[in-house]
Structure 1
Amino acid sequence: MAQNINLRGRVVDEKNQPIPFAIVNLTNIERYTYTDTLGMFSFSIPSKTHITDFEFKISYVGKKAIEAKIPLGNLSSQLIFKMVDLSLTLKDVEVNQVRKTQNSNSSIVFDRQALEQTQAFSLTDVLNNLPGKKLVAPDLQNPQTITLRSEAKGLQSLNNSLGIAIIIDDIQQSNNANMQNRNVSKWGVGSNIGSATYGTFDVPFSGLDIRDIPVDNIESIEVIQGVAPAKYGDLTDGAVIINRQAGKLPYQFSTRINGGSTNFSISKGYKLDNKWGAINVGTNYLKSNENPSDKTKVYDRVSGNIMWTSYFLKGLKNTLSIDYSYKIDNVKQDPDDGTELMTYSKGRNLSVSNRTSLNINHNIIKSLNASLGYSSGYQETYNQRYLNGATKGITDKDTSGVIYEGYYIPGNYLAVEHISGKPLNFNGNISLANEIYTGGLLHQISIGGNAYYSRNAGMGVIVDPTKPRWANTAYQNDRPYDFESLPNIVNYGVYVQDNFKVRFFKRDLSFNLGLRYDIQNEQGNIQPRLSANYKLSNDIEFNTAYGISTKGPTLAHRYPAPTYIDLILLNKYTGYVDESILLVYTDRIIPDNTNLKSSQSNQFEFGFRMKKPLFNTSLFGYFKSNTNGFSNNTVYKTYVLPQYDYTYVQGSRPIVKPNGTYSRRYVGINTVGNDLNSKNYGLEWGLALKKIEAIQTIFNINTSFNYSIYHNSTQRVVPTSQNNIDLGKVAWFGIYPANEYYDWTLMSKFSSTTHIPKLGFVINLLADISWQTISKTLSDSYLPIAYYDIDMVRHEIPSFDRNNPEYGYLSLTSAANSKTKLPFSYVNMSIRISKEIKQNLRLSVNAYNFLNVRYRYYNPDTGNVTIYSYPTSVGAELSIKF
């Protein structure tokens, strides 16, 4: 039997003291372990793997990660790795994000030093450094979501954001139980309660609001823009993977300020005795005023975290995390405003997660990883306005298909919109890994599964029918809607993944072949995820990947509130309720979205990297097709209703009786569909020059081109006028081809980083160059291709004839294609400066558009002025370790 290769090593700090519980990875064969209390680690590798060198990555919280390649022939009896504290005084410090082949061929990674350099108030400020994103001053007054590899607008953008998984400590965060939206049938998908001046503050139907995620306690962030490994499910457009670690750390206090925003945080890491490991605690507080002079609009955020990592058994690592957060978007009432406008959106969340990893090193199972996450939240959205108008007729019966009398309310009252939700999410993951040999080929096999559970136990839509905010809008009045009685979402999936390398023309060709199967909304989806990487030489490598992924519908998609169509047949108000009559027909419609499909993406990507002594460069391209996107569709329902004669009787009820005639009417109802489709193309080119020692400066440039063409696959239905219906015309609704749009952008991100280690000093000069942006509505026909009659029966129109009395009046106004484009290229320049003093004190300042260059364009055709830049915004940060 062939002997194993035994690797032994020790990890120490700058004082040669052992570092216990450091993570030691052999990245080229995907093995990992942890150092013991003496800083020791060991691996036993079968000699038949034909490994010629070992690639180590060693990490520990607060220390600079070690990446080293050691040839097999250079192995000593014991390897010694010395870790140093993170500091700007180190010679080689990466203060910018970098591209790495980690979970994806095109991953972009922000390590701890890069995160500190961004001087971020939230995750938003970090992700604005990605290629194709614009670096702007922190915007904490509006919800912030992330989109990747798409320029599509509107609902397509919501779908892209919804399809990006945010994973914290191996637990996928979920927005599936967020139902803080207005009634879909009346307002459509994506409509939320908000302020006329400040917009909306909730994010149902989309991804998480990443303003709510601070970055002070984060060790690294990996952004997967392309094909994700098979172990990640319930996503379509990428992932943001956030890693936190517990370990011994000094107290660290940070404060930052920008405009009307102030942020404070403090954290500490404690080393516990023996195998009890370490515990970290931290808290973060942010207050942001839209206008500090009046403080009408305020965003507040408070969060706290406790993380305990223990090592009670050999090869076992367990991390327990408890997080609590609270936030409020508050538009306060102006005492001088007679309308008594006030809006707020509150949220609090408690989450508990546990991660366990166990190295077994058995012939059947090499390692086991499991994680469980639970979160329970409270969401409340409120909006009020004092109305002063005419007396209103109200309908509020929970009935269907009957004619009844409504009632009248005064026209002056405090109108309220109010939604209360209690989202609850559970996430469980398990994976088993083993190694299988076929000849000299090592297969690293992992098998696992995921489960996702979501529900909402809130009071739901709270309605006082005597104080409606939108009375009789779209022939509908709101009714209460209880979330607690709704069904739950239970999705689950399994996967298998095989990683192996072969020699091709004497070079390594690596494969990652995965297959995933998910059950979402009780429907199955098969998803292959395949990637390959070929090292043509030590300096050049090529990679490619293909994958299918799906995202299940959320509670807001699956269970919108019932539709109540309130058609007023007779409304005679005389000024006295006893002498008046309101006659109404109500139709109650229960949406059935049981057959709603998962949205899906098919993505192909390719990449090229070259590393030379004077420069590094990379080129990535992609094609992504998104189908079955969650859409807002308008369907129409027709009614033939009796008409009534009315006789006034002074001092008593009027006399009402049917007159034998009928009125013909229609109502449009918004529904959720799977009709959004898009095709997205892009290229991303990066170039980093070798550090110029004479000026201690590195130059980087990233250029990205993104193109999206998108449409709703459902044909447009446009009703004719009520006058045509009253005249008895046959065609009630014209049917037209669907509209189609495209958007594309070309932009570059330039940066220079001057780092002087002896001074602990860094200057980042950053420039966003917007070369061109174009949006266009493609040709859409104004001639109908078919029509619906009163019974919603479809009639085709092979060749449109304007003189045809049945449908000739359905021709729409012909209009030229709508197109907007950037009138000129422009540059926005920002600067970041950091100075570290004795490794314990760091002072940082930043300025967005620090030259205060203002780009404006006057459109002579419309008379409108467009502003393409923002005023200079200056911020500062102070960080102290003690």
Structure 2
Amino acid sequence: MQLQILAQTTIRGKVVDEKNNPLEFATIVLNNGTQDILTRKSNAMGVFSFNINNHSFDSVKLIISYINKSTQSFWVNKKEFSLPLQIKLLDQSLTLHDIVVSGVVKNKNSASSIVFDEEAIRQLQAFSLADVLNTLPGRKTEAPNLQSPQTLQLRTSSTGADAMNNSFGIAVFIDGVRISNETNMQSRALSSRGLSGSLLAGSGQSSADVAFNGFDLRDIPMSNIASIEVIQGVGSARYGDFTNGAILITTKAGRTPYSFNTNINGGSSSFSLSKGFELNKKAGAINLSLGFLNSNNDPRDKVKTYNNLNASLKWTKGFSKNIINSFSFNAETNLDDTKTDPDDDAQKMNYSKRYNYRFSNNTNIDIDKNWLDELSILANFSIGKQNSYTQWLLNGMPKGIASKDTTGVYEGYFIPGNYLAVEHIDGKPISYSVNIDAQTKLLKWGSLQNQMAFGLSFNASGNKGLGNIVDPERPRWTNQGMQNERDFNYRDSVDFENNFAAYVQNNLRGKILDKRFNLGVGLRLNAQEGRVNPQPRISFNFYIHKNWSLSSSYGISFKSPSLAHIYTAPTFFDVPLLNLYTGYAKNSLFLVYTHKTSSVSRNLKNAVTYQFEQGVNFQSQKIGSGNLFAYYKKNKNGFVTYTEYLPIDVPVYDYKMNADSTISYFPTGATSKSWDLKRSRMSNGLQSKDYGLQFSFQTKMIQPIATILGMRAGYSISKYIGKMEYSTELASMMAQQKGIVYVDYVNAQTHSKQAMISFNTNTHIPQIGFIVSLIADYEPLLKQKWEANNIYPIAYSTSLGERKELSVEESMSNDWAYLRKNATEEKLVIPSTGFWNLNMRVAKEIKKKIRLSVSAFNVFNLKPKAFQTSEDKVSFYSYKPISLTIGASIQL
């Protein structure tokens, strides 16, 4: 089969607004009816053109979009290719027909991509990106909550470390730039605190930091977003370093009116102002936006608050008819703050402050050659500042302090038990990247149409903050498991992690038995610090009927560990040898043996996910559209901590009291073995499976009632298996008397199931610019099950270093009963019955300039109840009272 280089023809057109003024930087997509083929931007005169092969198309579909304008799409037949086109885009308004107010499934960067356009985002009155993503199939419609970090999980019902890994494996791209959470190191020493206790938090509050987790969605400003694409399945080979999905955000570019938006919900309020200025014909356009978000947990006292201030600038300029350049600058500051309560004698207070500045430049070149049609060069640099702080006035007994950072015996000192304890972590995340992407034209290859995309990328991430700042005279925690923290300076201890990648994506289109098909085959190679990971991706779409199509996808994806996973602070075991406090510090003695050991985990592998997805799609001009996707994901080498015991020999000292009341000490020459010293280590020990169904359907407009009916649903099952089959625990005193020091037990497994069905109606009356939406969520199943811990030992280790495995008969015999753990019953949480939640949105537009909106959550104030068998009681489950969001927007 030979590649055919065919004669070309040109499709030309001009894009104008309602007043026939040309629109520069309008996006024009050439589509073959199933997938996007080519993309162009209009020039300063609003003109665009496509050069296409004569025999590749009998007709093409053009999709024209521009910010704050209603998107147009239409077919152009072959005989009309040479005719000039005039496209007029109308201002977005509720007075237009066929507006889209929800996410739509499209075959873009994955077969199951869900796309939210500007109008859908605006209709949701979103305080943050989480409010938009809560409308995905299988997710619950909830009132805004800005008092704690908002991380995202996709296609899972897992909890704990498994949920953290799922969220960490979701990437966020803004205008092609991956926004990294790999540089976030706002955590205590992992070895002493473990994964669950490593983040700073106030008493009775969740942490405001998201180290080891996904990106905090509150940090993404909503004021300048033009569209959002959500990838939950197998993505294109172009996108990498994610295992559980990606969020692709496109920001606004071009001329726009002044736009002011505000939303208020309880103690939360948001304000944004944006404007797109068209400069002279040679200078392009500048888009400016400013946003402010404020939330008070209790407006009566304003003790717990969250504030976000963001600003962005985007300058877009066409340097010639083939070159368009966009330069962006984004600045953001966040303060998650709990002030000191005047009535709190403990003077408790904590905050998390973040500042971030991002610069990016994207150059798009239309080369317009068969083998190289488009070329994009994207560069990005980001730098930030993070500060996490807690304080607590302690009042207790004097404490012995060990503060040296080397192994050995030395004299510590005592501090008074009454002091203001402080924890402080200072981070300075830095990242930069370069991406080069290119694609060919759609070429004829026998009876097939072929198009290839390929590219290279490089990104680096580091953290040069002061790290974990420890004041030894004001420690929050002392001698936790004989461990104490020391200063850990990121600037001196953390290297930059470099990631190189190359990809190729080939898309074939043709017919089988006179039925259309699309076949996408891609390969991505990632190389990071000696780890090379091939990631094949394949997707197949087959159109069995004009209204029906099938899709199948399979892919492997990898996610590299973050800096916090790799560069954990050293472990310091401080074993008191002599702890003699006489009431006077100068006549007291705190003799300590410190054992220092590194905790850096440079040998961590990348997490990997193997995913298969099968879909059925329906599209009818008369009925509506729907789809059903079944998925299976196998997750391996996830990041989780395990307990490591480190038996060490400790020297034995004795002492005597001197006549002047001082204390003299001396070594006895003997040593003792400390068997109970343990720490948490990071590992690739997490393994899990997720599988389930996602469904969505939406009718066409039912004209007699001016209403669109819709339904979305999701059902997921998650099983946490764990790569480590057993865990080690310190033996009981009875066992130690028999020479046994450690006992191994089978790890417990977790199973969870979750389902959500949402019914919605959208009634739109364009004549008066009015729309009302009803959303009824029904949760038929929410079930989490933790298997009872296996109380029977499977192996033990002796003080001589020998490990002996036990057979099933031996482990259950009474001869080894003293090694058994206390029995724990199986835990099960499940609703007594399924429960409903009703929500409503209403919007009214006035003269196309002013829009008033109201969203009501849990309208009937329903209180779901769940039965917990582990506690044998019925209680409220995740109850959230009725909540109202009132909003207004003005465009001038």
Compute the TM-score of the two structures, normalised by the length of structure 1: 0.97
Cα offsets for 1:310-358 (capped at 9, x unmatched): 0011221111110000000110011221111010000000101111111
Distance 2:868 2:715 in 1: 26
Which of 11, 14, 32 pairs up with 2:15? 11
Residue of structure 2 equivalent to 1:730: 739
The more displaced of 281-290 and 796-805 is 796-805
Cα offsets for 1:36-89 (capped at 9, x unmatched): 33322222211242x122011111111111122233245462222221111110
1:216 aligns with 2:220: no
Residue of structure 2 equivalent to 1:152: 158
Which of 504, 522, 536 pairs up with 2:512? 504
What secondary structure sits across from 2:863 in the alignment?
coil
CA contact (8 A) 1:731 1:806 kept: no
Which structure 2 residues correspond to residues 591-670 of structure 1 after superposition, within 5 A? 591-612=599-620, 613-649=622-658, 651-659=660-668, 662-665=671-674, 666-670=676-680
Distance 1:794 1:817 in 2: 29
Residues 806 and 415 from structure 1, CA distance in 2 versus in 1: closer, same or farther, beyond 3 angstroms? farther
RMSD: 1.9
Distance 1:6 1:39 in 2: 16
1:196 aligns with 2:203: yes
What displacement does 1:22 show?
A: 1.4
Which structure 2 residues correspond to residues 420-819 of structure 1 after superposition, within 5 A? 420-435=426-441, 436-485=443-492, 486-612=494-620, 613-649=622-658, 651-659=660-668, 662-665=671-674, 666-721=676-731, 723-724=733-734, 727=737, 729-778=738-787, 780-790=789-799, 792-801=801-810, 808-819=817-828
Q: For 1:417, give the aligned amino acid.
A: E
CA contact (8 A) 1:7 1:78 kept: yes
Which of 7, 14, 23 pairs up with 2:27? 23
What displacement does 1:808 show?
A: 5.0
Which of 43, 52, 67 pairs up with 1:45? 52
The more displaced of 363-372 and 511-520 is 363-372
Residues 650 and 413 from structure 1, CA distance in 2 versus in 1: closer, same or farther, beyond 3 angstroms? farther
CA contact (8 A) 1:8 1:77 kept: yes
Distance 1:688 1:849 in 2: 23
Q: For 1:40, give the aligned amino acid.
A: V
Cα offsets for 1:269-323 (capped at 9, x unmatched): 1111114221110100111100000100010100000111100112211111100
The more displaced of 141-150 and 847-856 is 847-856
CA contact (8 A) 1:186 1:476 kept: yes
Residues 722 and 395 from structure 1, CA distance in 2 versus in 1: closer, same or farther, beyond 3 angstroms? farther
What secondary structure sits across from 1:161 in the alignment?
helix
1:142 aligns with 2:142: no
What secondary structure sits across from 2:131 in the alignment?
helix
Residues 23 and 650 from structure 1, CA distance in 2 versus in 1: closer, same or farther, beyond 3 angstroms? same
CA contact (8 A) 2:854 2:887 kept: yes
Residue of structure 2 equivalent to 1:414: 420
What displacement does 1:799 show?
A: 4.3
CA contact (8 A) 2:853 2:887 kept: yes
CA contact (8 A) 1:496 1:515 kept: yes
Residues 726 and 498 from structure 1, CA distance in 2 versus in 1: closer, same or farther, beyond 3 angstroms? closer
Q: For 1:88, give the aligned amino acid.
A: L
What displacement does 1:614 show?
A: 2.4
Distance 2:799 2:284 in 1: 73
1:367 aligns with 2:377: no
Cα offsets for 1:757-794 (capped at 9, x unmatched): 01110101111111111111236432121122235543
CA contact (8 A) 2:137 2:695 kept: no
Residue of structure 1 equivalent to 2:122: 116
Q: For 1:426, give the aligned amino acid.
A: Y
What displacement does 1:658 show?
A: 4.4
The more displaced of 856-865 and 453-462 is 856-865
CA contact (8 A) 1:521 1:596 kept: no
Distance 1:469 1:68 in 2: 66
Which structure 2 residues correspond to residues 378-389 of structure 1 after superposition, within 5 A? 378-389=385-396
Residues 732 and 804 from structure 1, CA distance in 2 versus in 1: closer, same or farther, beyond 3 angstroms? farther
Distance 2:157 2:485 in 1: 35
Residue of structure 2 equivalent to 1:250: 257
The more displaced of 691-700 and 729-738 is 729-738
Which of 108, 130, 135 pairs up with 1:129? 135
Distance 1:119 1:802 in 2: 59
CA contact (8 A) 1:709 1:743 kept: yes
Cα offsets for 1:713-742 (capped at 9, x unmatched): 113334345634663x32211112222111
The more displaced of 521-530 and 269-278 is 269-278
Residues 185 and 208 from structure 1, CA distance in 2 versus in 1: closer, same or farther, beyond 3 angstroms? same
How many positions carry a matched residue from both structures? Answer: 879
CA contact (8 A) 1:783 1:800 kept: no
CA contact (8 A) 1:730 1:806 kept: no
The more displaced of 796-805 and 737-746 is 796-805
1:293 aligns with 2:303: no
Q: For 1:279, give the aligned amino acid.
A: I
Residues 802 and 763 from structure 1, CA distance in 2 versus in 1: closer, same or farther, beyond 3 angstroms? closer
Distance 2:801 2:828 in 1: 35
Q: For 1:543, give the aligned amino acid.
A: S
Distance 1:117 1:799 in 2: 61
Residue of structure 2 equivalent to 1:183: 189
What secondary structure sits across from 2:888 in the alignment?
strand
What secondary structure sits across from 1:206 in the alignment?
coil
Residue of structure 2 equivalent to 1:845: 854
What displacement does 1:507 show?
A: 1.9
Q: For 1:654, give the aligned amino acid.
A: I
CA contact (8 A) 1:717 1:733 kept: no
1:337 aligns with 2:344: yes
CA contact (8 A) 2:283 2:317 kept: yes
Q: For 2:78, give the aligned amino acid.
A: L
What secondary structure sits across from 1:113 in the alignment?
helix
Residues 74 and 365 from structure 1, CA distance in 2 versus in 1: closer, same or farther, beyond 3 angstroms? closer
CA contact (8 A) 1:463 1:479 kept: yes
What displacement does 1:440 show?
A: 4.1
Q: For 1:313, give the aligned amino acid.
A: S
The more displaced of 626-635 and 604-613 is 604-613
What displacement does 1:862 show?
A: 4.1
Unaligned runs of 5+ in 1: none
Distance 2:270 2:318 in 1: 34
Compute the TM-score of the two structures, normalised by the length of structure 2: 0.96
Cα offsets for 1:456-490 (capped at 9, x unmatched): 11111111101111011121111001001121111
Q: For 2:685, give the aligned amino acid.
A: D
Distance 2:128 2:576 in 1: 50
What displacement does 1:570 show?
A: 1.9
Residues 863 and 500 from structure 1, CA distance in 2 versus in 1: closer, same or farther, beyond 3 angstroms? closer
The more displaced of 779-788 and 616-625 is 779-788
What secondary structure sits across from 1:820 in the alignment?
strand
CA contact (8 A) 1:681 1:708 kept: yes
What displacement does 1:854 show?
A: 2.3
Which of 325, 348, 351 pairs up with 2:358? 351
Residue of structure 2 equivalent to 1:854: 863
Q: For 2:697, give the aligned amino acid.
A: L
Cα offsets for 1:778-821 (capped at 9, x unmatched): 36432121122235543222345369999652112334422221
Residue of structure 2 equivalent to 1:325: 332
Distance 2:812 2:107 in 1: 65
Distance 1:802 1:537 in 2: 61
